[in-house]
Amino acid sequence: ILVDSLDAEYGSIIYAQLDGYEAPVGYSVSDEAYTDSGFVNALEYGATVPEGGIDLYFKLVPNVYDAEFDANGGMFSDGSDIMIVPTAYESEIVVPEVPVMDGYEFDGWDPAVSTMDEEGKYFVATWTPAVYTVTYYQYDEVYEEFEMCYGDEFDVPADPYISCYEFLGWAE
């Protein structure tokens, strides 16, 4: 952004300021002024107005907002259930490590992770109960087998019958 002209006498100290300019949503104007539009040469502290005047340029700097990731019953490796990822406006949000929860498989984040907006973002982990296969054996042969989800009520099959034997129960 080119500042119009500064009313200052040759040799006087330049006070770089950008009065009356409103940065677009999601951006701030840099505190530092530059003497070139490529933003390479910063105006040095205490610089004076050269003969012929000077044009000053300011960068638009993206604001940083928080992307909050809620493990939704799970945990991140540091033991927390919330992870904050500071992210610059319009930048891709860096997804943190996948949280874990006993008996569940991580499905992803809701909503889908994308770029940062001007308000920050909130994501919630989604989970699917893990499915386990339970197998009962009788003399090294499968007696009964079924699948169940973590947290489901456990079903014990009917007691097997073998003539002249008393069934005492199932063992691990």
Mean pLDDT by 10 residues, the chain (172 residues): 53 69 84 82 84 82 96 98 97 97 97 96 96 88 89 85 87 79
> What is the structure's pLDDT at 4?
44
- Residue pair 91/116 in contact (Cβ under 8 Å)? The answer is yes
Taking the alpha carbons at both ends of the chain, their separation in whole angstroms is 74
> What is the structure's pLDDT at 107?
97
> What is the structure's pLDDT at 2?
46
According to DSSP, residue 63 is labeled: -
The letter for the amino acid at 35 is: T
> What is the structure's pLDDT at 10?
67
User: In residues, how long is the chain?
Assistant: 172
> What is the structure's pLDDT at 123?
98
Taking the model in full, what pTM does it have? 0.71
